[in-house]
Chains A and B, each alone.
Chain A
């Protein structure tokens, strides 16, 4: 009896989490897959098996451009988050000497990420708008004599806001893997006469690559399904798959939205598996 209890114990303890995830993650996704094959006659859906939802997606040029636009956002946001996150993480891990200050400065980076995304998007309006700080300064410096429209409601604004929203998801993992780098390796490289650039290229970058990989996975999955930032910062002028799905649901085209969601999921998972093939992230956990 007591022995049975010991073997059962982990299963009982892990049961609530498993049940929640099965009910609200696995079943919904299986339902999406099923519904993506259902028939849709313009106003209601009926169970069945048809490929017409997928055919509609693959046949349309609008979808293709939307997918390409989404990849563009993923690529740009990924590029800029690495560009910012790597030096920030390096500074925190190698130049800040005491653990206390590392924790404090890391918290300074983290706190904005615990506040509302929507508010953080809105807070760009005073800077980017027609009458915003950037336009006013450009005009004051006589770089331009009429306000530049491109700042707010543009792809530029979308990428800027996404970088602002998600950069921590890159900083965290890179910082984490840099903190695990044995400092002796850096000293050894220095003693062997390596230049600062060589140390970065041969020691720090390879050893933080798993952190970069985890950060990349976060960025890919966050940006792939985005619609709020795209909607708000582009003023509805730009599109993404997430935004498309959201609009299709708005007009109750569930099977079409489901088919799009399945394609989105497949692409996302392919990207994630590709990253996992290149870098072994299990040692980070």
Chain B
């Protein structure tokens, strides 16, 4: 084995610092949310308790996080399901060349390139001109889809690029129809990637701020609720909420990764 060059150690150190930069702030709010009731927004830690974590579930002066969380959870699940179905369907279409495919490709990419605030503003204006009340489950859902679908679509293009069509052809030769081939051959083969798409769809929606901000209606999603809190809450309950939602995100990512491992392993057997 070749001796490792000096640059390896230098870059390893740089990478280590980068990871610290990414995770350092998290660990700070995690620690500070475990303070005693006399806790403040900065170090040193004052006492140790679960007081602030518990306070998240109680009634707050500025609103109820439990309800905002439920809304965001439901919205995330809706966005996730719609995104997976639509992007798999579009991905299947793009396996063949068809007239207009370039147009649709660029249309989808442009949804990523348009600054998010335009989506929020545009959907907001359309809804108000039509006289429809903005709601988290209508206008905000629409805004989220313009963000999750292009990502999911790009992932699906990658998945189908690497997809080996021989299994499918074999199924067809044995007389399976399009539907049967899709459900029994294609879907199980792309299942691990679908977990990735679902994770993306859910988390992008669950954490989305700008594309929700002007069109959530009168009831806030969780990120909007937290943003509202930053201007008037000066206690560690802010950090406690941050810790809990982050822990929830980590949990989801963990479950998704285990799911991907599980499906990939079953496939390789």
Contact = CB atoms under 8 A, between A and B. Distances in A.
Are A and B genuine complex partners? yes
Interface of A: 7, 9-14, 16-18, 20-29, 31-32, 35, 84, 87-88, 90-92, 95, 105, 107-109, 111-112, 114-120, 122-127, 129, 131-133, 136, 164, 196, 217-218, 221-222, 224-228, 232, 242, 245-246, 249, 254, 257-258, 261, 264-265, 268-269, 272, 285
A124 B24 CA distance: 9
List the 9 closest pairs (A to B, CB-CB), nearest first: A28-B122, A225-B115, A123-B25, A13-B93, A14-B93, A10-B93, A119-B242, A91-B11, A131-B42
B14 A32 contact: no
B125 A16 contact: no
Contacts of B74: none
A21 B209 contact: no
Contacts of B107: 18, 21-22, 25-26
B213 A228 contact: yes
B11 A125 contact: no
Interface of B, helix, strand, loop or mixed by DSSP: helix
Given A20-B149, A125-B41, A221-B112, A115 B207 contact: yes
Given A118-B230, A269-B113, A24 B223 contact: no
B108 to A, nearest CB: 6
Contacts of A285: 154, 157
A149 to B, nearest CB: 15
A24 B11 CA distance: 44
A126 B43 contact: yes
B135 interface: no
Given A10-B101, A28-B123, A126-B28, 19 more contacts: A13-B93, A14-B94, A16-B86, A24-B143, A31-B122, A88-B18, A91-B14, A114-B203, A116-B246, A119-B29, A123-B242, A124-B25, A125-B41, A126-B43, A132-B43, A136-B43, A221-B115, A228-B213, A245-B121
A25 B119 contact: yes
Given A24-B119, A91-B14, A217 B113 contact: yes
Given A9-B93, A232-B230, A246-B214, A196 B7 contact: yes
B138 to A, nearest CB: 11
Nearest to A160: B21
B93 A122 contact: no
Given A16-B90, A114-B203, A225-B210, A264 B246 contact: no
Contacts of A127: 24-25, 28
A225 B15 contact: no
Contacts of B26: 112, 120, 123
B115 A268 contact: yes
B89 interface: yes
B183 interface: no
